[in-house]
Structure 1
Amino acid sequence: MTATPTASQGLQLWHLPALRAVPALLVGLPLPFIQLHSPLVGLIALALLLGGTALALFAGRRAVPEGAGAWPVPVAAWTAVMAVVAAVLGAVSATELALGLAVAAWAIPAGALELRAWWRMRAVTEPRILRLARDWRAVGVLTILLGLVFALLRDAVTLTGLVGAYAVIVGVYHALAALSARPARTTTSERSDA
């Protein structure tokens, strides 16, 4: 029999990926329906994605298992800085180069920190924590790949589309990770037997 967590128990393992899914999906889902895929739209989408992600990481920082370290805090801080940079670049110099370099400057270090968290947790035997660590590995690799692609490409339509595609893929991935990390619910009869 598994116990159902109560609200008083605070953050659970599944809260961090659930929190991270929200801004990714909110930014990624409407982006394909915006007609103008310009560097300005890409930088605005990036600023919104990174701002929401920074808030989600900071809010869920205590939902990380002890052995993983406090990786959400430096990633949240770097992500918040890059959200401001993206917003400023959007207002001052909305170019393909600015969009590409802003994404690359954020994604490569953020992905590396997430991979480091996976590396620290790879020997864990508890299945839910191990699945969560593997999710960090997948998102870390995808984020680094995004940074490498953005460092090389300079087409506004492609770059803006890739921001949206990345956001949707990572948002769905985080939503599924949250669902798989949730503990099983107990029925009323199981709770009354306890």
Structure 2
Amino acid sequence: MDPHAVLGLPHDASLEEATVAYRALAKSHHPDVTQDPRAAEVMARINAAFDELRARAAAGTLSDDMAAAGPAPSSAPATAGGRRERGGWLPDAIRRALGAELLAALEQEERVTLVVPTATWASPETRLALTDRRLLWLADDQPTHRIRSLRFRDVAEVDFKLNWPRRRGTASVRVRNHAGRRFDFGDIKPDIALTIAQTVSGRI
């Protein structure tokens, strides 16, 4: 796969240009905004292409302009002492779904159950991962503080809610920590949202 071709970019494009192209394509091809039966497949290719460009930038294999634009950490750094690469203990499909930035945020041997696109009040383009110890998410359209997390031990309560009737066919997961702060994850398929809520509830 040529990531530049997928995003419609010249090979000397900067990371900033790649980000703009990615966001434009995501708004057109995301399964939530189109009835195209191939939308999920197309969106997966777009995500993979963008993650590949960010990983190349981190490895210093892109143009100077792209590398200077603020690359994301590499998803597969070499490690000392023979340890496995970041996320190397996970299935390939999960690694691809996480992308470079969420992979880089994982702790050693942190298991990931699922990765799902969602929306939060801060970012309508969020990628949420459910791990064996926390909720971990990437605010994909934010320039800074993109990675956030909430450990199960810090969760006071969790609720599941169907979004009816305005956004039929989607659901939300609402989580509140012990300090009273609320985190809402919306636009998730109901069965997946229920799985997330039940898993978090079983860990608190």
* TM superposition score normalised by structure 1: 0.32
* TM superposition score normalised by structure 2: 0.31
Q: Where is the helix percentage greater, Structure 1 or Structure 2? A: 1
Q: Which has the higher contact order (CA 8 A, sep 6+)?
A: 1
Q: Where is the strand percentage greater, Structure 1 or Structure 2? A: 2
